[in-house]
Amino acid sequence: MADDRQSGTAGRALMPASGAGVLPSVGPRLVTVVSLAGLLAIWWVAAILADSRVLPTPPQVAEAFWRDAATGELFFHLAMTLMRVVAAFVLAMVIGSVIGICLGMNREANRFFDPWLILFLNIPALVIIVLAYIWFGLNEAAAIGAIAVNKIPNVVVTLREGARTLDRDLEEMARVYRFSAMKTLRHVVLPQLQPYFAAASRTGISLIWKIALVVELLGRSNGVGFQINLYFQLFDVASILAYTLAFVAVMLTIEFFLVQPFEAHSTRWRPKRARG
Amino acid sequence: MADDRQSGTAGRALMPASGAGVLPSVGPRLVTVVSLAGLLAIWWVAAILADSRVLPTPPQVAEAFWRDAATGELFFHLAMTLMRVVAAFVLAMVIGSVIGICLGMNREANRFFDPWLILFLNIPALVIIVLAYIWFGLNEAAAIGAIAVNKIPNVVVTLREGARTLDRDLEEMARVYRFSAMKTLRHVVLPQLQPYFAAASRTGISLIWKIALVVELLGRSNGVGFQINLYFQLFDVASILAYTLAFVAVMLTIEFFLVQPFEAHSTRWRPKRARG
Amino acid sequence: MSNLSKPIPPAGGPNALEVDIRAKTFRGADGEDVRAIEAIAFSVAPASFATLIGPSGCGKTTTLRIILGLDREFSGSLKLPDSGGRVAAVFQEPRLLPWRTVDDNVRLVLSDEEADGDLDDLFEILGLAEMRSRYPAELSLGLARRVALARAFAIRPSLMVLDEPFVSLDEQTATRLRALLTNVWSARPTTAVMVTHNLREAVELSDRIIFLTERPARVRGVYEIDKPRAERDSRWREATLTSIAKRYSGIL
Amino acid sequence: MSNLSKPIPPAGGPNALEVDIRAKTFRGADGEDVRAIEAIAFSVAPASFATLIGPSGCGKTTTLRIILGLDREFSGSLKLPDSGGRVAAVFQEPRLLPWRTVDDNVRLVLSDEEADGDLDDLFEILGLAEMRSRYPAELSLGLARRVALARAFAIRPSLMVLDEPFVSLDEQTATRLRALLTNVWSARPTTAVMVTHNLREAVELSDRIIFLTERPARVRGVYEIDKPRAERDSRWREATLTSIAKRYSGIL
Amino acid sequence: ARDIAKIRVGVLKFGTVNWELDAMKRAGLDEKAGVDVEIVPFAGENASAVALQAGSVDMIVSDWLWVSRMRAEGADFTFVPYSTSVGSLMIQGDSEVEDLGDLKGKTIGVAGGPLDKNWLLIQALAKKDNGLDLSAENYIVYGAPPLLAEKARQGELDAVLNFWHYAARLEAEGFRTLVSGSDAAMKLGTSGPVASIGWVFGDAFARNNEAAIAGFLAADKATKDVLASSDEAWEALKPLMKAGDEKTFVKLRDRYREGIPARSGTAEAKDTEKLYEILAKIGGEKLVGPAKTLSPGTYYDDGKNG
Ligand SMILES: Nc1ncnc2c1ncn2[C@@H]1O[C@H](COP(=O)(O)OP(=O)(O)OP(=O)(O)O)[C@@H](O)[C@H]1O
Ligand SMILES: Nc1ncnc2c1ncn2[C@@H]1O[C@H](COP(=O)(O)OP(=O)(O)OP(=O)(O)O)[C@@H](O)[C@H]1O
Ligand SMILES: [Mg+2]
Ligand SMILES: [Mg+2]
């Protein structure tokens, strides 16, 4: 049987490969809006069906949001948490990446420090946080340090896997052409680690935020974690969700207006997936 | 200036590339033992210097360990936690990988579900756990489900990054040679995702264990998390560390006797790093 | 490798391969368009062998990708000899699975029934007998290219697509492999399209040579060869080369 | 690209390149040993051009890797022409950084002082002028190989190492690039080692051809060429090829 | 044998309630009262609240304010007083602080967060007696109770408001009470100590398991009588209490005994309503929820007290 694949007109061929697809006419922004609307709809229906204090409807959460937003309280706590999250994130990514890349590239060091890594990976957040507070006092530095220490081993593990898969051919090329260490790092090593950085930072920021909640619960007097715990004692789920969603909204904004454009730019060299 | 690189004798050339290094005569097992001993020494010295109830010495922790080990209590709680960790791990890895690979390979699906993913990434563990307990009761299924739901978004994010970097050339080769979907998955896709699986499982098991602690705190009557919190209320750091280290020991055993041999086997095809 | 040892009835699809690419444009990462193909139209009769020759970067690989169905974003049409049949492809790079041994790389393209077949002859003739349990990273480039050839020869395709199959091999090995290809192909004639920069090779193997222009590629001319392969001796070859060189300046 | 436009005093290291590999064995992933090299010893006089020819998989690339200092696990010794000097290498695969444009890939090998230099001539002559802002994934293999050549030609090395530099190029382009190499090299003679499967190319470019045996590689013989490059016309070339073919059977 | 009523009680494993229930089971007092009490231990304060709402236990210990708020929002929980022991503001034994007024400018740790009842009462008291706004003019640290106790020992905190058994332990270590929650309440106008924590269970459960509730409350009273009088009964509880030393043990025992409510719930209700008003004023809607007064039915009415 002959197979006659007629591939449209000349106009089709001029279309960029990435633009075509199931929803070719729908812009990416619109997809996101539809997606969020879908999520809201599911939640609303579920809340109405459940009809329980434990799953409030969107308006109830909105009300809780406005109550605390009107007094500025919500923004204050959100800002405090964000400050801690950002500080700990930067610390953890920098330290964790450096260690991870070194371990991934050096078998002996890795063999030696692997047990330490597994230890630090598995120390409960509670233990680290309490020890940090006890040793360094109930202050901001202890809080941020404790969060970072919790996250560092995860970054190390992810980047170490990345460093293990570094392309040997390119490394050799860089060596033969006498690339300086900086040049090699910037142009050869880091671009290869991009997906690992992406994974480590996306999972990282969420992990850090979750640990920040515990840190605030155990020994800070402000922040979203502090508030959530307060409302948890009162079993006020609507307020808990209001704070959670405020944070999620911040994350979505960062994702769509900072991370995704940056990522699209830094991976524009990748061959597009075949769609035969 | 002439550079005369004399590269040892014939015997040297016969040595496998991977065996040579800074510690060529020291076996890998010994390195691990030395590493653990070093860790113990640091801890011991620090504990003696600190001389505080908050940082007990190794013998004090050992004593706490034996106290609860002798009654069998420690092993019971450890077993319960391990059971939950393993069940949640399997669930989270399977579900998360499937979703992650699909999203990584399909731009449209990813654009739609990305906001959902960010939402689920950032919902505090507390909220998920409480909702799970309230809706499904304080039972094992709710506990394990809640842990898995907490971890799934992380697996998704990591595997999605992996799936985005899949080699287009190999995919095309598989298509041209009419590989079945199963064959493509098994021989083309999954081997490329190995480092992402490794990262997701290593960080995953530790995250799951940490969430298990919270789950046990909030609604189980056994498990290491339950015990650690009890001892936290008494501020008995020695006992907390005893339980923590018991878990870490299990993880180390798994790492060295299961994960590492498996990994060495599944990555034996990788060209060895140049060590010029 | 049964198709090496016993004669097999002529195969290949029932129809001619008909390629009619009216335009192919890539959208570059910098947003600019790259016109790769202006117009390439040719057909390959059932069970005959066609070769594409053209300057580096003119659009040969792109044409093969379109034939293989790996790129559908072009304007024009394509008719395959046999839509259900299998395709044997040798890509311009080896494209081996790095995590599978040489043996497994070849065996994976076999269907489930053939998977346990005896590949000893094939590996032997390609000089890969010693390498079967190696991984691709342990091969030299020439060896890896031979594995890619083994993979293409291991199946019974209805269409063969070869992108510079004999490059990076020493003259002796290349000659041996060309002979192998001729044998395999004569035993079971298959519609075949090859790209090469080696006119000698083209003249030795093809029934029809299609010359392409610089990018964006157009067909510059088609040279038909009617002489049976067995009769193509070196005198005939030199004469043909000269006649081609006269007709298409700058080819040799 | 200054070394293309103005004449430069002869360069290359002050010493001969001396290679003396007494054994090179790989440990395969399956635990078995692979003897790649039995004994390869040769020297390349300062500012002269040597070519290695040998069967596919015999150990040529391995030898070059040892010269480049990428593999130190061999027994034997190595003397470089100039340990401080730079090395220009064309690997058997292009080895471009996929995340950098063609222009950046070439510019990155320049030292900081040269980095802003004018590369227009170089790109023009290699037929890459239009491709400078492209990424490697958007290039055909032939184009990518030319970028790798551009990279090697952009610097002023004291040693050149070329692994099949002109493969996968159409005859016209290859001829142009060989001429370019001859020019660059004559303007500033550098110690050079090349691997090729193309004896014609070797005869055209080298001062000395080293023939290797099958794996494990030994030196089969060395053929010296004294004729100045300018005087190597096609009649002399055919005669030389015949004489080599007579001496080393199976080469052509 | 007749069907014995069953009741599942969620308690903190190392909490005081567990001591009492343990003593009850040990003496078989629950069976004597015709009820089988199943102790379900938890590790965290909030776990039992989750368990009650998930229906995994029938009864927990919590405070009436929570019950009132939940009722206002539609839940059917009800409350029977369990103990008048509440948190106390503790200071180091050799501290120069004599009254709340001296706390100005100090660092104060507060377990339970800004909406803790005792903290609100003590703040109100400080404002009334000393004209001091504690939270505005001091550095307040909210945190986990064990952490704050440890920080007080370390001297990082000048004063700490903690739950009663942490307070008792600190007292055994030489700390002294500056003011307790019930002191503050009484100074603000209640006629006696009000039991702030009690047994909490659903109205529906009580309706369907009247015998179980009645039996349980009877057994509870009997247990309290035993613990109030017998020192031997306490010896058996020692391993559970993890007191550490004899002094702490005695402190814990004595403070427990002091906390046994003398009045019945209905008798307390009037004081509670007053307290609710005070709290509603200082804590605002944040604390008490939308209801301006104590929700009706907050105190369990078994229908016998008329
Ligand atoms: N994905 C792509 N995006 C943009 N341009 C592309 C892409 N693929 C190929 N091209 C361009 O299309 C042209 C033709 O490429 P093609 O690979 O078909 O060349 P070719 O004839 O096979 O050359 P060679 O002999 O070097 O292999 C080249 O100029 C190449 O740069
Ligand atoms: N890392 C390695 N591990 C094991 N064997 C190897 C490794 N690298 C090369 N070999 C083997 O060593 C031999 C020589 O390889 P080399 O790459 O030097 O060949 P070559 O002469 O360059 O061949 P070609 O002309 O095909 O490029 C081959 O048999 C190859 O399989
Ligand atoms: Mg091509
Ligand atoms: Mg080679």
Q: Do residues C173 and C240 share a domain? A: yes
Going by alpha carbons, the residue nearest to atom 1 of ligand 1 is D138
Q: Three-state SS string across A30-67, please?
A: HHHHHHHHHHHHHHHHHHHHHCECCECCHHHHHHHHHH
Other CB atoms within 10 Å distance of the CB of residue C175: 16
Does any CB of chain B come closer than 8 Å to the CB of residue A170? Answer: no
Higher-pLDDT residue of C80, E262: C80
Q: Which ligand approaches the C-alpha of residue D212 most closely?
A: 2
C240 inside domain = yes
Does any CB of chain D come closer than 8 Å to the CB of residue A186? Answer: no
Other CB atoms within 10 Å distance of the CB of residue A265: 8
Question: Would you place residue A127 in the very low, low, confident or very high pLDDT band (cuts 50, 70, 90)?
Answer: confident
pLDDT in tens, A159-182: 999 999 999 999 999 999 999 999
Give the best residue of C67, C99, C140, C161 to mutate against chain B (max B CB count within 10 A).
C99
- Of C112, C129, C155, the position where a domain reaches its end is C155
What is d(CA C202, CA B178) in angstroms, rounded to the nearest whole number? 28
DSSP annotation string for D89-142: EE-SS----TTS-HHHHHHTTS-TTTTT---HHHHHHTT-GGGTT--GGGS-HH
Average pLDDT over residues C27-36: 86
Expressed in angstroms and rounded, the spacing between residue D140 Cα and the centre of ligand 3 is: 5
Does any CB of chain C come closer than 8 Å to the CB of residue B135? Answer: no
Going by alpha carbons, the residue nearest to atom 14 of ligand 1 is C59
D11 inside domain = no
CB under 8 Å to B228, separation ≥6 — which residues?
Answer: A124, A126, A127, B213, B217, B240, B243, B244, E43
pLDDT in tens, C132-178: 999 999 999 999 999 999 999 999 888 999 999 999 899 889 999 99
Q: Is the pLDDT of residue A8 over 60?
A: no
Expressed in angstroms and rounded, the spacing between residue C71 Cα and the centre of ligand 1 is: 13
pLDDT the model gives residue C252? 59
Name the residue type at position B251: M
What is d(CA E255, CA A63) in angstroms, rounded to the nearest whole number? 43
How far apart are the two ends of chain E, measured CA to CA in Å?
A: 32
Instruction: Delimit the domains of chain A by residue range.
Output: 63-266
C124 inside domain = yes
pLDDT in tens, C177-223: 999 898 888 888 889 999 999 999 999 999 999 999 998 999 999 99
Q: Which of A10, A269, A276 sits opposite C75 (nearest CB)?
A: A10
Chain-chain contact of C139 with D57 (C-beta, under 8 angstroms)? yes
Q: Do residues C115 and C150 share a domain? A: yes
Chain-chain contact of B173 with C137 (C-beta, under 8 angstroms)? no
Q: Do residues C114 and C102 share a domain? A: yes
* Long-range contacts, stretch A131-139, CB < 8 angstroms, 24+ apart: A131/B54, A131/B55, A131/B237, A133/A218, A133/A219, A133/E143, A133/E147, A133/E151, A134/B52, A134/B54, A134/E147, A134/E150, A134/E151, A134/E154, A135/B50, A135/B54, A137/E156, A138/A219, A138/A220, A138/E141, A138/E143, A138/E147, A138/E151, A138/E156
Q: What are phi and psi of C22, to 5 degrees?
A: -95, -20
pLDDT the model gives residue E84? 86
- Which residues in C lie closer than 8 A to residue B179 (C-beta atoms)? 108-109
Q: Do residues C209 and C118 share a domain? A: no
Does any CB of chain B come closer than 8 Å to the CB of residue D250? Answer: no
Tell me the pLDDT of chain A averaged across its residues. 85
Q: What is the CATH number of the domain that holds D44?
A: 3.40.50.300
What Rg do the C-alpha atoms of chain D give, in angstroms? 18
Most confident of B167-176, C237-246, D114-123, E294-303: B167-176
DSSP A273: P
In chain B, which stretches have pLDDT less than 50? 1-25, 274-276
Q: Do residues C206 and C233 share a domain? A: yes
Tokens of B86: 């393993």
Q: Which ligand approaches the C-alpha of residue B168 most closely?
A: 1
- Within 172-211 of B, beta carbons closer than 8 Å to A belong to 172, 175, 195-196, 198-199, 202-203, 206-207, 209-210
Q: Do residues D174 and D224 share a domain? A: yes
Average pLDDT over residues E49-69: 88
C207 inside domain = yes
Other CB atoms within 10 Å distance of the CB of residue E264: 13
Going by alpha carbons, the residue nearest to atom 16 of ligand 2 is D59
Determine the distance in angstroms separating the CA of A55 from the nearest CA of chain E, rounded to an integer. Answer: 13
What is d(CA C15, CA C12) in angstroms, rounded to the nearest whole number? 8
Q: Do residues C141 and C192 share a domain? A: no
Going by alpha carbons, the residue nearest to atom 3 of ligand 2 is C138
Q: Which of C32, C138, C197 sits opposite D26 (nearest CB)?
A: C138
Length in residues, chain D: 252
Q: Do residues C220 and C172 share a domain? A: yes
Q: Do residues C114 and C237 share a domain? A: no
C7 inside domain = no
What is d(CA E129, CA E120) in angstroms, rounded to the nearest whole number? 14
pLDDT the model gives residue C2? 41
Q: Which residues pair with A5 in a beta bridge?
A: C78
- Of C140, C155, C170, the position where a domain reaches its end is C155
Expressed in angstroms and rounded, the spacing between residue D139 Cα and the centre of ligand 1 is: 5
What is d(CA D140, CA D161) in angstroms, rounded to the nearest whole number? 23
* Long-range contacts, stretch E137-141, CB < 8 angstroms, 24+ apart: E137/E104, E137/E105, E138/E103, E138/E104, E138/E105, E138/E106, E138/E107, E138/E108, E139/E106, E139/E107, E139/E108, E140/A221, E140/E107, E140/E108, E140/E109, E140/E110, E140/E114, E141/A138, E141/A219, E141/A221, E141/E107, E141/E108, E141/E109, E141/E110
DSSP annotation string for C145-180: HHHHHHHHHHS--SEEEEESTTTTS-HHHHHHHHHH
Average pLDDT over residues D207-222: 92
Chains that touch E (3 or more CB pairs under 8 A): A, B
- Which residues in C lie closer than 8 A to residue D251 (C-beta atoms)? 171-172
Determine the distance in angstroms separating the CA of B99 from the nearest CA of chain C, rounded to an integer. Answer: 24
C56 CB within 6 A, ligand 1: yes
Measuring from each residue's beta carbon to the nearest atom of ligand 2, which residues come in under 6 Å? C 138-143; D 26, 28, 34, 36, 54, 56-62, 92, 215
CA of E287: which chain A residue's CA is closest? A234
pLDDT in tens, C86-127: 999 999 999 999 999 999 999 999 988 887 888 899 999 899
Question: Would you place residue D35 in the very low, low, confident or very high pLDDT band (cuts 50, 70, 90)?
Answer: very high
Are D188 and D11 in contact, with CB atoms under 8 Å apart?
yes
Q: Do residues D55 and D110 share a domain? A: no
Q: Which of A53, A133, A230 sits opposite E73 (nearest CB)?
A: A53
Are E145 and B229 in contact, with CB atoms under 8 Å apart?
no
Name the residue type at position B232: F
Q: What are phi and psi of A228, to 5 degrees?
A: -60, -40
Chain-chain contact of D25 with B13 (C-beta, under 8 angstroms)? yes
Name the residue type at position B181: A
Q: Which of D70, D151, D161 sits opposite A175 (nearest CB)?
A: D70
Does any CB of chain A come closer than 8 Å to the CB of residue E303? Answer: no
Chain-chain contact of A230 with E113 (C-beta, under 8 angstroms)? yes
- The three-state secondary structure class of E214 is helix
Expressed in angstroms and rounded, the spacing between residue C213 Cα and the centre of ligand 1 is: 14
- Which residues in C lie closer than 8 A to residue A3 (C-beta atoms)? 78-80, 82-83
What Rg do the C-alpha atoms of chain E give, in angstroms? 19
pLDDT in tens, A77-102: 999 999 999 999 999 999 999 999 99
Chain-chain contact of A127 with B244 (C-beta, under 8 angstroms)? yes
pLDDT the model gives residue E56? 87
Does any CB of chain E come closer than 8 Å to the CB of residue A126? Answer: no
D47 inside domain = yes
- Which residues in D lie closer than 8 A to residue B4 (C-beta atoms)? 77-79
What is d(CA E53, CA B133) in angstroms, rounded to the nearest whole number? 9
Are C77 and B183 in contact, with CB atoms under 8 Å apart?
no
Does any CB of chain A come closer than 8 Å to the CB of residue B102? Answer: no
Q: Do residues D141 and D161 share a domain? A: no
C26 CB within 6 A, ligand 1: yes
Average pLDDT over residues A42-63: 88
Q: Is the pLDDT of residue A6 over 80?
A: no
> Would strands E5-12 and E35-42 be described as parallel, antiparallel, or unpaired?
parallel
DSSP annotation string for D151-186: HHHHS--SEEEEESTTTTS-HHHHHHHHHHHHHHHH
pLDDT in tens, C50-70: 999 999 999 999 999 999 999
Expressed in angstroms and rounded, the spacing between residue C56 Cα and the centre of ligand 3 is: 7
The CA–CA distances, whole Å, from E66 to A171, B150, B222, D161, E143 equal 64, 29, 27, 81, 20
Are C17 and C47 in contact, with CB atoms under 8 Å apart?
no
Expressed in angstroms and rounded, the spacing between residue C141 Cα and the centre of ligand 4 is: 5
Average pLDDT over residues C27-35: 86
Q: Is the pLDDT of residue C4 over 60?
A: no
**Sheet with E88-91: strands ordered across:** E139-143, E107-111, E159-162, E88-91, E176-180
Expressed in angstroms and rounded, the spacing between residue C93 Cα and the centre of ligand 3 is: 9
How large is the angle between the packed helices A140-164 and A107-122, nearest 10 degrees?
Answer: 140
Average pLDDT over residues A128-143: 88
What is d(CA A13, CA C25) in angstroms, rounded to the nearest whole number? 6
C4 inside domain = no
Domain count, chain D: 2
What is d(CA C205, CA C51) in angstroms, rounded to the nearest whole number? 8
Are A50 and A113 in contact, with CB atoms under 8 Å apart?
no
Residue with tokens 């602690």: B213
Q: Do residues D82 and D105 share a domain? A: no
Average pLDDT over residues C25-29: 88
pLDDT in tens, E73-104: 888 899 998 888 888 999 998 888 888 888 88
- The three-state secondary structure class of C209 is strand
Determine the distance in angstroms separating the CA of D179 from the nearest CA of chain B, rounded to an integer. Answer: 31
Determine the distance in angstroms separating the CA of B149 from the nearest CA of chain E, rounded to an integer. Answer: 19
Domain span including residue C149: 98-155
What is d(CA C60, CA B268) in angstroms, rounded to the nearest whole number? 36
pLDDT the model gives residue E37? 92
- Of C155, C173, C191, the position where a domain reaches its end is C155
Q: CB-hemisphere CA count at 13 Å for D51?
A: 21
Other CB atoms within 10 Å distance of the CB of residue D49: 25
Class of the CATH-defined domain A63-266: mainly alpha
- Which residues in A lie closer than 8 A to residue E140 (C-beta atoms)? 221
Give the best residue of B229, B237, B243 to mutate against chain E (max E CB count within 10 A).
B229
Are E175 and E108 in contact, with CB atoms under 8 Å apart?
no
pLDDT the model gives residue A274? 47
The CA–CA distances, whole Å, from C92 to A149, A167, B50, D141 equal 49, 21, 66, 8
- Which residues in A lie closer than 8 A to residue E63 (C-beta atoms)? none
Q: What are phi and psi of B119, to 5 degrees?
A: -60, -50
